[in-house]
């Protein structure tokens, strides 16, 4: 029987050629967010499946999967975020996206430039929820959206997810950034990775509930350390 050339690609199969093409495009245009998702899809292997299996066994995971809760619905409701208490995680997130001129749908649009392939609807629910947490992690870790901040947050994310696509982006970013920042970028990225390992497992968190709480309390509860190496290097670069 001839092979079905129209079959969807196996989401666990590594695609190094596609990853390399996307890396070259990302180097040429660091703002091309869609290439990040292409690299992650091409090189993630079984990371999403492993994460899903861990997620579905948690109380939050069971609730999200059973009731089809979509995090982006909460993140796009700016009136509800604005009504949260001063000092809350939700208000800090709102200030972040308004300051950076972002929207909760921005990551959705960037990730859907190419059709996503998942093992099941529940795997898709987990994968999309993980995607939509990215800017929440920015606020929690206090890593900025500058190139160095994104690099450090991706190192943190790699420690949390063990997604080889993310790890590859971090390595490429270090090689590129080291020319301008010196070996300090290695220390900053390593600190991001270590903080990611030390923190609670963020993919399982009930973000809808945590947004209501004081940001500093959430950071303390989840074991989020201050990004000291990032701040120091960023200040050095700003004054150079």
What are 210-232's pLDDT values in tens digits?
999 999 999 999 999 999 999 99
pLDDT tens for each residue of 18-73 = 666 777 776 777 767 677 767 767 666 688 899 999 999 999 999 999 999 999 99
Rounded alpha-carbon distances, angstroms, from residue 137 to 57, 211, 219: 22, 12, 10
Q: Is the dihedral of CA 14, 18, 24, 30 positive or negative?
A: negative
Confidence (pLDDT) at 20: 67
Contact 19, 163 (CB under 8 A): no
More confident residue, 78 or 43: 78
Average pLDDT of the segment spanning 127-135: 93
Angle at 101 between CA 99 and CA 104, to 5 degrees: 110
pLDDT, residue 4, reads 40
Report residue 1's pLDDT band, with 50, 70 and 90 as the boundaries.
very low
The answer to whether the CB of 116 falls within 8 A of the CB of 153 is: no
| For range 125-147, the mean pLDDT | 95
Q: Tell me the C-alpha distance between 195 and 137, whole Å.
A: 12
Q: Which residue has the higher pLDDT, 110 or 161?
A: 161
Distance CA 48, CA 127 (A): 7
pLDDT at 213: 98
Pick the more confident residue, 183 or 143: 143
The arithmetic mean of pLDDT across residues 103-113, rounded, is 61
Q: Is the pTM of this model over 0.75?
A: yes
Distance, first Cα to last Cα, the chain: 64
Residue 110 pLDDT > 60:
no
Q: What is the pLDDT of residues 171-213, one digit of tens each?
A: 888 988 888 788 899 999 999 999 999 999 999 999 999 999 9
Which pair of structure tokens corresponds to residue 113?
């430039």
Virtual torsion, Cα 8, 119, 34, 23, nearest 10 deg: -80
């Amino acid at each position: 029987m001839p092979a079905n050339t129209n079959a969807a690609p196996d989401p666990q199969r590594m695609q190094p050629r596609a990853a390399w093409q996307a890396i070259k495009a990302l180097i040429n245009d660091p703002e091309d967010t869609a290439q990040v998702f292409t690299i992650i899809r091409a090189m993630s292997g079984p990371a999403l499946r492993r994460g899903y299996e861990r997620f579905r066994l948690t109380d939050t995971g069971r609730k999200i999967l059973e009731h089809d809760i979509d995090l982006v619905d909460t993140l796009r409701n700016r009136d509800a975020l604005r009504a949260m208490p001063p000092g809350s995680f939700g208000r800090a997130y709102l200030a972040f996206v308004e300051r950076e001129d972002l929207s909760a749908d921005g990551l959705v649009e960037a990730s859907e430039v190419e059709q996503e392939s998942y093992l099941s609807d529940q795997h898709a629910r987990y994968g999309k929820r993980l995607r939509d947490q990215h800017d929440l992690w920015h606020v929690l870790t206090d890593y900025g959206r500058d190139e160095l901040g994104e690099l450090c947050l991706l190192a943190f994310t790699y420690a949390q997810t063990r997604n080889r696509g993310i790890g590859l982006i971090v390595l490429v970013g270090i090689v590129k950034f080291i020319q301008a920042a010196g070996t300090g970028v290695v220390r900053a990225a390593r600190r991001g990775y270590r903080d990611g390992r030390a923190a609670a497992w963020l993919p399982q968190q009930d973000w809808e509930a945590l947004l209501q709480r004081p940001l500093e309390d959430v950071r303390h509860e989840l074991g989020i350390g201050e990004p000291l190496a990032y701040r120091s290097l960023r200040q050095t670069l700003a004054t150079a």
